[in-house]
Amino acid sequence: MSTPAHGLQQSLSLQEVYAWVYAMQCRRLALRMHVLEQTDFLARAQAFEGMSALLDEALEEIRVVTEALRERSEAAHRESARLQALVTEQRAQRSKAKERFSPCTSSA
C-alpha cells in the first residue's frame, strides 16, 4: 500500500485494503516458512528480524491510515457543522421573510 508519511493522497478502495492485507499475510507466511525450514540459528534470527520489520511496517501503515481517516472525519464534522449553521440561518431568513410578507398575502 505504501502510504506516504504525510497521509493518504487518495481514497483507498476496499479491494486495495484487502490486497494490502493479503500481501502482508503472504510475506508473513513466507518468513514463517523460512524459519521452519532453517536449522541454522543465524538464519532463524534473520527470519525473525524480517518478521519484526514486517510487523513494524504494518503498524506504521495502520497508524498513517488511521491518522488520515481521523483527519477526514474531523473535516467532515466541521463541514457538517458549517452546513447545519447555514441551514439554520436560511430557515431564520425564510421565517423573517414570511413575517414581512404575511400582511401582503392576508390583505389580498
What HEC string does the chain produce? Answer: CCCCCCCCCCCCCHHHHHHHHHHHHHHHHHHHHHHHHCCCHHHHHHHHHHHHHHHHHHHHHHHHHHHHHHHHHHHHHHHHHHHHHHHHHHHHHHHHHHHHHHHHHHHC
Residue 67 within a domain: yes
Question: What pLDDT, in 10s, does the model give residues 1-12?
Answer: 555 444 445 667
Residue 106 lies in a domain: no
Count structural domains, the chain: 1
Please indicate, yes or no, if residue 33 is contained in any of the structural domains. yes
| Structural domain includes residue 89 | yes
In a domain? residue 48: yes
Let me know if residue 69 belongs to a domain. Answer: yes
Query: pLDDT for 31-80, tens place per residue?
Result: 778 777 777 778 778 878 888 888 888 888 888 888 888 888 999 999 99
Range of the domain at 50: 14-101
Q: Is 47 within the bounds of a domain? A: yes
